[in-house]
Chain A
């Protein structure tokens, strides 16, 4: 029940400070204060404020009723009574009376509203049903001189009919006698639900489904709903539904269930004791069951007690005393579940590992169970990173163990394949794909993974074979069609480079068959046109190329895409048409989207393999790119453009972008970086000491803010200086400011992992895995943004070895963390 005050209805704009305070108190839900203020207002300014006072009383009453202070709430509502006895919020008033056991008074009050227009339609309908239900609960009282033709008279007549029908059912009268009585209850009256429920009750022994349907119109918020649900529970046919009835029912519902099912006194008593123990908690139920252990159904009692143990682990000794010792596996499982219940994830992991260890000794029959437990451990490791930050790696280890036990669990295999792919673990990726493919050759998800692997490994024929099979399984899947087209295009590219345009044309023809007429593929059309251009160089081929580029948007990016494809095909044929196309397209002023799409086009792996040619292509668009510098870029937005300009060594343009960016945002750290990159033409070796320090600070801030791309960009720029210097002079001073800064960052990253934590990891996982986990942690730290993975692994190994040495050494005075001396 909400105590919130919903609808203040001020009599007018507050005329006095008291009125304003009263309204404010109502708004803030300070109803006691509001009552005082409104009382004062009534005294000082007159009865106009009575309505406000009544609202405050009702709001406070609702607040008290929510705290189950029904008597106080009732008294407050009585303060709002009009001369005819109607109160503000009559439903709440009835609620308070019912809760206090004053059913007769509640019934009489509810009846006051029947046949009147004192309530709004919805509330009146609810009140009518409430009055109807209460009239059946309370003894009938003689109503003085009510016109039988009035609305109230008709209502009382319906009440009498309902009472009569109900009495007939309670007395055990048969269907034939009750049914005519029910017909006297109108389906338009407030007693409609009584008719439906009684009809259902007498129909139930004949047709339970029909009985259930009969009660469908009774809404869950109806006062008859509790009776309806009790009847439905008793109607349940499957035995499991009976259990639901017993477990979830309220006291009266349970009594109804027991009574209409004709359960004996003793049956009722046993069930009652059982349910009572059950309601008192797992410990009580366990105690109740263990007392019955020597009676019939001892096996079920043992199993039930075992199932209760995770919820009452302190009963474990009692269980073993009654039923004998639990197996190592069962005991670990019980303790693991109990640990999970109290959210002690470390203990849960430890006990599940013990359970798995006891299963390992049982061989093949336990493999499925082992798989389940390792998957669960992986889930715990992934889901509850409250225990250890390294859980990503732990989860992978558990998944691998799970797959070793249960080779055919496809979801696990797919999860691992995705992980190996993301982490670029090529050997594991390929091995697992092949393994899964052998087990599930017709599974779409496996074929998709196989396509990705084969394409990555450069085995395009095999990739196409898998994709072809995938298309046979799912011919209209647009993503598969698109992938197949891409693969054929890659193959066509290879053929062109091998100077076999005839074969390339065949590949493109095959790909064209997969093109959907409503979604033509512009890259495919561009490839086809370029091959035609390479073979014939005719005007028709040029026109075809222009048409394909037009399909791709006809802008600079479309021409760049075509030029790149031409490049990747080995620049076969006349490229002048492409150069002219790019030049023409640059007549359109640049937009951010256009420049970004060009940057995206030249960012692919294939384009990176042809760095010099791509750089020349970018430099060919200098004027157009320079115009783009005046657009309102943010430092984040411009990052791909900077990468493209840097790659193409277009420092003049980069300088223009940086100048404009700094003009807009002088404190923008990254714009400062871009300016320095441009001014030094990418050679950090010429930077002064202050600039290097500035850059290192910006990089550190970026890494701490999680902007690892920015941090990497700066460190790669600074590293370029290092590389050049070391190339020039291998005897560079190692204690320079840059090295010092890097060293500080590494030390800070290492300091975040305490020796105690490393010791705990070693104890828990052993040396090798602890090293792996520490390396994973370092990878996620600031140091991870600037150091290669191998270097991080070396650091991790050293940390683990030092802690192991410390553990082996007798304790001495407190020392610094060993890796802080780096």
Chain B
């Protein structure tokens, strides 16, 4: 797959939803103050949004984000043609979360709906899939909603200090539609031999996400800058120079290393780690939506990487986007 380009689709809007409840890494009971301060300094993460009721479904967050997106774009539910849900924390795999949400949101029968099992690279993978589906539809004016995100805290073991201080709960809903003259460029890669870097461990106490921080760092530094450089060298002619580089919010150490390796100016690389932590596949649209003004036009480089080990970058022209402020709900 690797390099690919899509014509005729654009990102029209973004809305995000997070639990109102926040946890503070300074309050972690397993670490001393000096360790906590070092953790915050080097990961960049102070606060994490965490659901209070672990049994609550990520579906509630997706519904909130989609309602806000439809309101922001003034889209009627009947106008939706594609619904994609990128998540790894659906409460039950059957039926798909996309079908559940299709029913509960009252979308029309003509809308196709399915899930994509993907984590930190999921926004870019979802964008590529949704874009392809829209481009394949045999009419103008078609619309897609791409939802990305997880309740990662449902997979976080209380005492795992390699995972708990990093991950945060949250989702984003992204509206896409046909638009003549728009182009998007992608570089999608998989390094499956790195599958053990982030995995799910089944134990008597539950299913817990495990992460080998050093291997994640190694894979990110080894593969992500090359992925981005290959994409930019091929497609970022002068007129397509990125105005912003939005990386998956892994942690500050990784993200700064990628920024340096790619040669991106710090002022063009926003992060939302301090307030929002690592929100898996929602981290790119969330960070972008917190840092981009509605009327601004320009090319943006998105790069997602993580569980898999999966790496996906996209170079996208943003023009006429409507961004909603994040919704915070009691959940």
| A and B: bona fide binding partners | no
A residues with CB within 8 A of B: none
